[in-house]
Structure 1
Amino acid sequence: MRRIALLSFLLSLSAFQLFAQSGKFEFEETSYDFGNIHEGNGKVSHEFKFTNKGSAPLLITNIVPSCGCTSPTYPKEAVAPGQSAIIKAEFDPLGRPGDIHKTLTIEANTEPATTVLYITGMVIPKPKSLAEEFPDSLGSIRLASRYMSLGGITNKEPVTKEFGVYNDGDAAVTFKPVEGLDKHMKVDFEPIILQPKQKGIIRITYDAKAKNDFGGVTDNFQLVSDDKNGTKTAITVNATINEYFPPMDEVQIEQSPRLEFSKTVHDFGSVKSDKIVTTEFEFTNTGKQDLIIRKVKSNCSCIVTTPPKTAIKPGAKGKIKVSYNSAGREGAESKTVTVYSNDPRGANQALVIRMKVGQE
């Protein structure tokens, strides 16, 4: 027993001595705010000065930055007790506009074994050149892109979004009225005559209610002008349409329809090539008003859906039939069917079907 007690004492003493001989950071500061950082001016750096207040040489084994945009430089040799050294943090603002919050995690023979330094700031984007602002060249006309995104919109009311256009030619360009548009979209130009080296606006007004669709939608129009270097270009307009719900309190939400599926995933398992397989997703309206399935859309032309055509009363059940055609397909597949409804708690719900397509 006495030997065991002596051994325990010696081990404890050894651990105490090891701890006592650790290095110890004492930084003048552990965080630094660069303030405004101008992206066009290149990299910025700051030096964090520290002193080893421990009883043993302090050895930094690694510094891990939270981002590849931040590079640390630190002493590779041990810093003796009482001596000072510097850790340099260099930040590259290129392509990182806005607020920054970065860390440098130092690994060393200290207690605790890691120490964190912080850098913050605000990156001011560099002014874009005309080529950067309008990279898509259509003859003399330049656009940011011939693919114009309206982003997420609702069917509450028409929305308008403006897209820049630039005349890079040496002659004025006159835009022609856009023809063949459906009633849900309108396109205007300002000004109609765009002088050389002048910026203008293409204004798109979109009525999602008149479109009568949900989810991702695409429309096209022809941009026509008297530009001698390019008179006609197809422009694509994208949007994601969602149901509009006015602000509701808890009582109103509780009184609304509610779409609840008994399952949201179906695995067909192995499916032969050139085969059509079908499943049904059953749901219940657990709300207190009629449930209306607005739209059912899939992410593949290989899928055909059959939603209910009438409103589902509170407490009633319904089914959405989903058929998958494996023709021309092979291997493991996962497809999504999105159900759009008037349920404010789950207006867009995803159903997933999986399968493995093969010859056998």
Structure 2
Amino acid sequence: MIRFAFPLCLFLFLLIFSIGAQGQVDTVPKVIWKVNRIDLGTILEEQGLQTVEFEFTNTQDSVFVIRDVWQECGCTTVDFTRDSLVNGDSGVIKISFDPTSAAGYFSKLIVVKGNLLGAEDSLYLEGISIPYPSDVNRAYPVTQGVLGFRLKKVNMGDVFDNEPKIKYVEFYNKGENLLDQETFRSQTPPYIQISQVQQFVRPKERGLLMIRYDGALRKDLGYFEDLIPVEWENVAGSQIKLELIADLFEYFPPIPRSDLNEVPQLFIVQKEIDLKEISSRSVVRRSVTLTNKGHQVLEIRKIQGNCECLVIEAPKDQLQPGESMELSLVLDPMGRKGIDQRNIYIFSNDPVNPVQLIVMKSRIE
């Protein structure tokens, strides 16, 4: 028994040493990247190669050298710092993307491999590439002045109040004049900003408008439409109005499962009201019970219907834990006929279900 003690101790020592050494290898820091993901936004095919730079810094005591840069496809070309970098030195990797190689959304992976153990990082290049259409008039059927657009309205989609929403809108210059970025003007409210992306858009060329919508500055919730006048100074026919639509929401960060019972909880007894057949000459009244099943005060931020024919009345905008109230709904179907659906949106501080929908259906005779 005794003669096996020493080898066993030696084995345990080597095992612990090996695990410790492996742990040291795993904790070797890699190079530090300023960013590892770049979004090119919307790119028109005729804009040509798009080049971006990924910057990095060597934070290790050892000399760092880039050995190889692997690219996902031939649509990107790469150039990088080939010098040996000591601790504190910085370098750059330049990636050029050919927009003719893709249509729609793209995400390209670039893997950077260095000379040091564990020095392998992934970079991502993203964006939306729009090919040049074979039939311009068909691609941009909506004409305003000298400009052609794909759609009549610009849909900003869901806009949250924690960060502005940015969208790029294509247009085609059907006129005979150069559209200069410096002469672009827009009359916008404080929560909307519009700018021309390219410096110049020549006749019979496409351009991009960048629209920035700040929900926090709007300070409201629900569905909205905005009519924004824009123009290029001294260019005849460039005075147009952009129709913007957006759905504004309050942002709530994720909450731990353990806190689900502590937050406000809006409970709606009846989310669908079927009125069946009703007369267009009769006003219909209904009520819906709202209850706070949480353990904090429930705040009703806003109640919005999708028709002026619907009047909604709430006796209060706060419910204590366990408290209920009756929401009054009054529908005047005058002038309407056939299958009808009215939507009522309730915005609250319930972080799990901040927006809830009540549907009122009927067949109007």
User: Could you tell me the TM-score, scaled by structure 2's length?
Assistant: 0.57
Shift of 1:196: 3.2
Please show how residues 82-97 of structure 1 align to structure 2 within 5 Å: none
Higher Cα Rg, which structure:
1
Which residue of structure 1 lines up, in the alignment, with residue 154 of structure 2? 148
Please show how residues 223-242 of structure 1 align to structure 2 within 5 Å: 223-226=230-233, 230-242=237-249
Which residue of structure 1 lines up, in the alignment, with residue 325 of structure 2? 318
State the SS of the aligned residue for 2:298. coil
Shift of 1:330: 2.9
State the SS of the aligned residue for 2:308. coil
Contact kept in structure 1, 2:177 and 2:235, CA below 8 Å: no
State the SS of the aligned residue for 1:255. coil
Aligned pair 1:256/2:266, yes or no? no
Please show how residues 11-160 of structure 1 align to structure 2 within 5 Å: 128-129=133-134, 131=136, 134-160=140-166
Identity of aligned residues (%): 24
Pair 192,142 (structure 1): closer, same or farther in 2 beyond 3 Å: farther
Which residue of structure 1 lines up, in the alignment, with residue 195 of structure 2? 188
Contact kept in structure 2, 1:263 and 1:282, CA below 8 Å: yes
Please show how residues 158-169 of structure 1 align to structure 2 within 5 Å: 158-169=164-175
Give me the whole-angstrom Cα distance separating, in 2, the residues matched to 1:344 and 1:192.
Answer: 43
State the SS of the aligned residue for 1:238. strand
Give me the whole-angstrom Cα distance separating, in 1, the residues matched to 2:259 and 2:207.
Answer: 46
Give me the whole-angstrom Cα distance separating, in 2, the residues matched to 1:143 and 1:192.
Answer: 19
Contact kept in structure 2, 1:293 and 1:307, CA below 8 Å: no
Query: Relative to structure 2, which stretch is displaced further, 328-337 or 285-294?
Result: 328-337
Shift of 1:272: 3.4
Contact kept in structure 2, 1:295 and 1:339, CA below 8 Å: yes
Pair 280,331 (structure 1): closer, same or farther in 2 beyond 3 Å: same
Which residue of structure 2 lines up, in the alignment, with residue 283 of structure 1? 290
Shift of 1:289: 1.6
Which residue of structure 2 lines up, in the alignment, with residue 202 of structure 1? 209
- Name structure 1 gaps, 5 residues minimum: 1-95, 99-123
Amino acid corresponding to residue 128 of structure 1 in structure 2 = P
Aligned pair 1:342/2:341, yes or no? no
Q: CA-to-partner distance for each residue in 1:260-289, whole Å, 9 max, x for gaps?
A: 112222334553333222211111100122
State the SS of the aligned residue for 1:337. strand
Contact kept in structure 1, 2:301 and 2:317, CA below 8 Å: no
Aligned pair 1:177/2:203, yes or no? no
Q: How many residues align?
A: 238
Which residue of structure 1 lines up, in the alignment, with residue 35 of structure 2? none
Contact kept in structure 2, 1:336 and 1:350, CA below 8 Å: yes
Contact kept in structure 2, 1:253 and 1:344, CA below 8 Å: no
Pair 326,170 (structure 1): closer, same or farther in 2 beyond 3 Å: closer
Give me the whole-angstrom Cα distance separating, in 2, the residues matched to 1:157 and 1:339.
Answer: 22
Shift of 1:305: 0.8
Which residue of structure 2 lines up, in the alignment, with residue 27 of structure 1? none
Contact kept in structure 1, 2:145 and 2:240, CA below 8 Å: no
- Name structure 2 gaps, 5 residues minimum: 1-102, 106-128
Pair 291,333 (structure 1): closer, same or farther in 2 beyond 3 Å: same
State the SS of the aligned residue for 1:177. strand
Q: CA-to-partner distance for each residue in 1:62-109, whole Å, 9 max, x for gaps?
A: xxxxxxxxxxxxxxxxxxxxxxxxxxxxxxxxxx999xxxxxxxxxxx
Give me the whole-angstrom Cα distance separating, in 2, the residues matched to 1:141 and 1:156.
Answer: 33
Give me the whole-angstrom Cα distance separating, in 2, the residues matched to 1:97 and 1:143.
Answer: 17
Pair 270,246 (structure 1): closer, same or farther in 2 beyond 3 Å: same
Pair 356,168 (structure 1): closer, same or farther in 2 beyond 3 Å: closer
Shift of 1:356: 3.9
Aligned pair 1:328/2:328, yes or no? no
Contact kept in structure 1, 2:159 and 2:213, CA below 8 Å: no
Give me the whole-angstrom Cα distance separating, in 1, the residues matched to 2:175 and 2:275.
Answer: 58
Q: CA-to-partner distance for each residue in 1:325-356, whole Å, 9 max, x for gaps?
A: 02112344332212122212222222122334
Pair 333,191 (structure 1): closer, same or farther in 2 beyond 3 Å: closer
Give me the whole-angstrom Cα distance separating, in 2, the residues matched to 1:166 and 1:184.
Answer: 26
